[in-house]
């Protein structure tokens, strides 16, 4: 019996019988318990995750989302990749995002430590790590510090350098912090009220819709599930990238959106220095959110990379 099946039996994971989009596909979700050994100054948190259970024995895929995102951003992608590759696929909520716990710390070192402990608890010795934006930086840090955990690496529309100006993100945070929503109103009404208030500082409708995925209701009260205080305090760190003298020699794919500026030719030398076996590709007519703009092309690129 596999370690994953044993975890389901022990009640650490809750299993849903099937996926409505892909009949017969088992989806498992849960939160891994954390055991610390005192070797790190960063205490890992219990990350929330979903597992889409493939039938194959190949290395599992692990998806890491971007800033203000959540594990659900990759659910449809995960289901398709299970069907196409037969691999087990995990989607993970970063600390201070989704259903993962809040923490005053939001650094790439901490997020890489969280991931390391999650994989250890799930008895995953190696994975294909796929990270978008902030998740891509976490994936790179993990590969550069824990290379034995990463069989292959896919970095989606981000580079190992400082990202573009954080001013837009400051506006997003300000707009979200200033939001006031009445209690005990229908969710649809609350969502409209929230979008109306965000519109002043967040002009792009797609961005507003993305931010609104974080609006949650609890006992009639509406709030943001992301930890805005921690994000605001660490925004400069999230926009930057730690310095490394190490390299990751595993197969690596940098997958950019052709309409995005997050991976530029200026970044190529640093990519080559840190990831000497990296291939850089772009998906036409895709913005920063490649997986949302061009899901079929995104899936095909990853599938081809896994077979290369």
What span, in angstroms and rounded, lies between the C-alpha atoms of 228 and 100? 14
What span, in angstroms and rounded, lies between the C-alpha atoms of 211 and 164? 19
Nearest in space to 208 (alpha carbons), one of 229, 223, 194 = 194
What span, in angstroms and rounded, lies between the C-alpha atoms of 97 and 308? 33
229 given a catalytic annotation: yes
Q: Note whether 209 and 144 are within 8 A (CB).
A: no
Contacts of 207 (CB under 8 A, 6+ apart): 172
Nearest in space to 68 (alpha carbons), one of 181, 202, 217, 161 = 202
What span, in angstroms and rounded, lies between the C-alpha atoms of 157 and 4? 31
148 given a catalytic annotation: no
300 given a catalytic annotation: no
The single residue listed with the structure tokens 């608890």 is 121
What span, in angstroms and rounded, lies between the C-alpha atoms of 14 and 289? 30
Given 109, 195, 217, 229, the catalytic residue: 229
- Other Cβ atoms less than 10 A from the Cβ of 34: the count is 17
DSSP-derived letter for residue 213 is: T
Given 117, 132, 288, 291, the catalytic residue: 288
What span, in angstroms and rounded, lies between the C-alpha atoms of 259 and 199? 24
Given 80, 133, 163, 260, the catalytic residue: 133
What span, in angstroms and rounded, lies between the C-alpha atoms of 274 and 272? 6
Q: What is the largest CA-CA distance in the chain?
A: 55
DSSP string, 50-72: EEEE-SS-SPPEEEE--TT--GG
The single residue listed with the structure tokens 């691999």 is 87
Residues designated as active site: 133, 229, 288
């Amino acid at each position: 019996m596999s370690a994953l099946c044993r975890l389901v039996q022990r009640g650490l994971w809750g299993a849903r019988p099937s996926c409505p989009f892909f009949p017969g596909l088992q989806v498992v979700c849960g939160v891994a318990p954390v055991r610390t050994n005192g070797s790190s100054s960063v205490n890992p948190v219990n990350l929330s995750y979903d597992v889409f259970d493939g039938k194959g024995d190949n290395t599992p895929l692990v998806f890491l989302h971007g800033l203000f995102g959540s594990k659900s951003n990759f659910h449809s992608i995960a289901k398709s990749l299970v069907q196409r590759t037969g691999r087990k696929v995990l989607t993970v909520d970063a600390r201070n995002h989704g259903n993962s716990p809040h923490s005053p710390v939001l650094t790439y070192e901490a997020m890489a430590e969280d991931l390391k402990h999650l994989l250890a608890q799930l008895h995953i010795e190696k994975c294909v790590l796929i990270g978008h934006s902030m998740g891509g930086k976490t994936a790179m840090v993990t590969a550069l510090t824990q290379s034995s955990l990463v069989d292959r690496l896919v970095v989606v529309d981000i580079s190992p350098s400082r990202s573009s100006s954080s001013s837009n993100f400051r506006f997003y945070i300000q707009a979200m912090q200033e939001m006031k929503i009445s209690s005990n109103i229908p969710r649809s009404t609350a969502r409209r009220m929230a979008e109306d208030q965000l519109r002043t500082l967040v002009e792009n409708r797609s961005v507003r819709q993305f931010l609104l995925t974080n609006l949650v209701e609890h006992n009639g009260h509406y709030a943001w599930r992301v930890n805005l205080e921690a994000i605001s305090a660490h925004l400069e760190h999230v926009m930057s990238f730690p310095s490394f003298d190490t390299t990751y020699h595993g197969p690596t794919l940098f997958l950019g959106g052709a309409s995005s500026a997050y991976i530029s030719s200026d970044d190529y030398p640093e990519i080559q220095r840190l990831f000497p076996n990296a291939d850089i590709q772009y998906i036409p007519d895709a913005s920063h959110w490649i997986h949302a703009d061009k899901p079929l092309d995104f899936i095909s690129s990853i599938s081809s990379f896994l077979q290369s």
